[in-house]
Structure 1
Amino acid sequence: MTRDRTFPTLNALRAIGAIMVVLTHSAFNTGRINQGWSGAVLARFDFGVTLFFILSGFLLSRPWFLAAALEEHRPSTGHYLWKRALRILPLYWVVVVVALLLDPVNDDADAVDWVTNLTFTQLYTHGLLPSSLTQMWSLCTEVAFYLVLPLLCVALIGRPGRGLRLRRVVVGAIGISVLGVAWQVYVAQIPGSEGHYAQWLPGYLPWFMVGVVFAAVSASLTARPRDHVLDRLAADLTGCWILAAAVFAIACTPLAGPRLLLIPGAWEAGSKVVLYTVTGAFFVLPLVFGPERDGLVRNRLSTAVPAWLGDISYGIFAIHMLVLNLVFSVLDLEVFTGHFATVVALTLTITVALASLSFYLFEKPILRAKNVGRFARMEPPDLEPEPEQTPEIAP
């Protein structure tokens, strides 16, 4: 039997990404992002989306690469899509309905707004995204990735029965990443009123490809354990995170574009994607390779509280803009007028409470249907997972 890894710290990584998104939106709405170096850092906490995309690329593509490495049947695409739908759609639809019905800014929402937002197609129309749903652009992009992932994995793996060829995967992922950066450089020159091109999937493929390459290498090491350079690098978590912090610091400068919602220059847009890609790679690397629980950081990230926050992270992401706007309304605050500490404390507290209720009373019961009938999962016969299973990843 081949014994697989469990990646016990990745749930915590989801929580980190979700909290970063809440912090950056709170900082933007209060105007905190314009205040000194700390504002510059908070403005770049949209890096939480990078973590979501890398984790999705890693955990969702890994079953395909593992099946290829073990020379087993490919995973069921039907099961994969069904499970993604159960995880994403119910809460998303509830949040969309609540936002369009109850947020007064959305009183003029028409049938097109309803249809596009319910079908993840709002990025492919002109105009601003609805209030309380502006963060959903990244989920639209993620859903697009979900749909192309099976075809992408088949293309990177090649003909069945030839095992997993890492060189093919790495070269293919690099080529896709280069095209993704080129997309961002090009569309940055298109006026924002013409569409949301800079938020479409192609521009963020470099982030997903980090996860895809990590998944392929990880699957190869599971099927054929050996010494690998990524395991050696990952053993030094401190060194990896120092490098990640250094690159992130560069991303906090004007090199990665303006802090506000202004159209970046072509090279600013490309630089931001590249800098976030490198930062994300070094940040995630020691949590998917090297020792799984060795050291203070890995052990802490594997404990109950980070795992719980990871479980509810999708709810945190989906609900927080509704809560943030509610906090501004109840406190009678104007945007860009300060009160960051108060706003973020209330937003996080209320959002975490609502996300917990949502996960345990709504989302988790729905997920029990993931192995119903024809959608039942088929495990590779030669793979014996550890008792702790790989966590679900959603933005």
Structure 2
Amino acid sequence: MVVAHHVAQRISPDILTPGQQGLAMGVQMFAFGVAAFFVLSGYLLARPFWVALDKGDPMPSLRTYAIRRGARILPAFWLNLTIVFVLSFTLLGTPFDGPLLLRYLSGMFLVADFHWLTWFPVEFNGPLWSIGAEITSYALLPLCLWLLFKLPFTRGWLARLGWVAIIGALLGLQLLALRYLMPDANLRGWEYGMVGGAKFWWPNYNPIAFYAIFAVGALAAGVQVKLATLRSGWFDLVALGGLGLAIWALWAGFPYPDAYGWAGIPYGYPWFPLGVALILVGTPSSVVLHKLTELSPIAYVARVSFGVYIWHYMLMEIVRVLWQPRYIYAGMINAGAWAWISLAVVVMSFFIATLSYALLEEPIIRWARGLEKRATPANPTLSPAAG
């Protein structure tokens, strides 16, 4: 979704018919894919914790949790971050200065999302902003779930209600951020580059806002764990209803990809995340839809999707700077050239992502498994799905 959003931005609406303009603007709404990723991630990572909570077991090993998350995300992220950083001042024309180095180091140390100045840790690869917010969500998830493990009355459905209360608290924090963290108007806006754009986004875009999206996925995991033993066609309807809600949220936000919702949180919050959450609740217990998740093409895309996400925009920017300067926002006036360039970017993104997974990510994931402690009754590990 996010790749389609970015390539659709590059064609000029002036060469399109009114119907084609509407279609292009609709595809740009696929920026909501970021929210879908956060919901899915929260769902997968929270599920082992809910299972342990319902059984009365201790929390799953946080050491295992940290090792698996680090092994899955950090090698490819750090490699991409460093390559883009070096290319930015050696080949792509960005002056090397203190702020550029600060942004890079903040990305390397996983704190880029703490301030608008470092929100984009490098030039020429804007999508990397979400990785910092994702990692902050990884850290906050076990901290918040720890509260449920420590409170004696938070079991079963009461624990799920407790999680709803945590989401409510996050919305309160987001409202405080909107009131007290608003930056000044100096050099604020996309016309001032990526840092100016980050300043424009802030504080609607901040780690608490994205953890609120992530937490909806964690809630979906809690509900699904309670329903996991059931199998019924009604769950197909639940999943389809979630799809309908997600599509409605896209339509309601049209034509603004940010689509600020409750507490100024982007991507149609909470309706789009709730739609994705319903899909995740319904699909595992469905009769028909769960079979789609077993198809080989879907499994392949799931494996390499992270790599596609972090590499595609760098390729787009290399094309823009070194070859086709019109490949900018609303810049392409030749639809055929735009289509061929965009197709080449997508194909190369999948190629690099496949190589990255086979040669870097998967070997490190296997190596990291050897660092994990053996599971014991007193120290349950995370399920493979959470890895």
With the shorter chain as reference, the TM-score category is 0.7 to 0.9
TM-score calculated relative to the size of structure 2: 0.79
Instruction: Check whether the contact 2:26–2:254 (CA below 8 A) recurs between aligned residues.
Output: yes
Range with greater deviation from structure 2 (141-150 or 171-180) = 171-180
Matched residue, 2:69: 84
Q: 1:343 aligns with which of 336, 341, 344?
A: 341
CA distance in 2, matches of 1:92, 1:112: 17
**Is 1:113 the equivalent of 2:100?**
no
TM-score (norm 1): 0.78
Report the counterpart of residue 192 of structure 2 in structure 1: none
- Paired residues of 1:316 and 1:355 also in contact (CA < 8 A): yes
Taking structure 1 as reference, are residues 247 and 187 closer, same or farther at Cα in structure 2, changes over 3 Å only?
Answer: farther
Q: Which of 305, 313, 325 does residue 305 from structure 2 map onto?
A: 313
Q: Deviations over 1:138-187 (max 9, x none)?
A: 11101111112211111234336964433543432341353265257547
Q: Is 1:216 aligned with 2:222?
A: yes
d(CA) in 1 for partners of 2:361, 2:253? 35
Q: CA deviation at 1:272?
A: 6.0
**Aligned mate of 1:175, from 163, 168, 177:** 168
Change (3 A) 1:287 1:117: closer
C-alpha displacement of 1:385: 11
CA distance in 1, matches of 2:130, 2:352: 21
The answer for the alignment partner of 1:362 in structure 2 is 360
User: For residues 1-395 of structure 1, what are the structure 2 equivalents within 5 Å?
Assistant: 20-31=1-12, 36-103=21-88, 104-110=92-98, 111-123=101-113, 124=115, 126=117, 129=120, 130-159=122-151, 163-164=155-156, 165-179=158-172, 182=175, 185-186=178-179, 190=183, 191=185, 192=188, 193=196, 195=199, 196-222=202-228, 225=229, 232=234, 234-253=236-255, 270=263, 273=266, 275-289=268-282, 292=285, 294-295=287-288, 297-334=289-326, 335=328, 336-338=330-332, 339=335, 340-373=338-371, 375-376=372-373, 378=375, 390=385, 392=387
Could you say if the C-alpha distance between residues 78 and 167 of structure 1 is closer, same or farther in structure 2, counting changes exceeding 3 Å? closer
CA distance in 2, matches of 1:102, 1:312: 23
1:180-210 Cα shifts (integer Å, max 9, x gaps): 6525754795444594433321122331121
> Structure 1 residues 32, 304: CA separation in 2 closer, same or farther (over 3 Å shift)?
farther
1:379–1:235 Cα change, 3 Å: farther
Structure having greater relative contact order (Cα 8 Å, sep ≥ 6)? 1
Q: Tell me the secondary structure at the aligned position of residue 289 of structure 1.
A: helix
Give the count of matched residue pairs: 356
Alpha-carbon distance change, 168 to 361 in structure 1, aligned in 2, over 3 angstroms:
same
Change (3 A) 1:185 1:233: farther
Q: Tell me by how many angstroms 1:52 deviates.
A: 1.1
CA distance in 2, matches of 1:79, 1:148: 16
Q: Tell me, what secondary structure is at the counterpart of 1:320?
A: helix
Instruction: Provide Cα deviations, 1:217-238, integer angstroms capped at 9, x if missing partner.
Output: 223334xx5799xx94653443
> What CA distance in whole angstroms lies between the structure 1 residues aligned with 2:256 and 2:103?
34
Q: Distance in 2 between matches of 1:253 and 1:326?
A: 28
**Is 2:178–2:203's contact at 8 Å kept on the other side of the alignment?**
no
- Stretches of structure 1 that go unaligned for 5 or more consecutive residues are 1-19, 258-266
Structure 1 stretch displaced more, 176-185 or 37-46: 176-185
Structure 2: distance between partners of 1:214 and 1:284: 5
Q: Which whole-Å CA distance do the structure 2 matches of 1:76 and 1:209 have between them?
A: 20
Q: Which amino acid aligns with 2:141?
A: L
Decide whether aligned partners of structure 1 residues 272 and 32 sit closer, same or farther in structure 2, where only a CA change above 3 A counts.
farther
The 10-residue stretch of structure 1 (61-70 or 162-171) with the greater mean CA deviation from structure 2: 162-171
Cα distance change, pair 56–187 in 1 and its aligned pair in 2 (3 A): farther
Moved more, 201-210 or 375-384: 375-384
* Matched-pair contact (CA < 8 Å) for 1:248–1:279: yes
User: Residue 71 of structure 2 contacts residue 365 of structure 2 at CA under 8 Å; is this kept in 1?
Assistant: yes
Contact 1:27–1:39 (8 Å) recurs in 2: yes
C-alpha separation in 1, matches of 2:347 and 2:97: 29
Aligned AA for 2:110? F
RMSD of Structure 2 on Structure 1 (CA): 3.5
- Mapped partners of 2:133, 2:13: distance in 1: 27
Q: Deviations over 1:270-328 (max 9, x none)?
A: 46637243123223423432554633x54334200111011001101111111111232
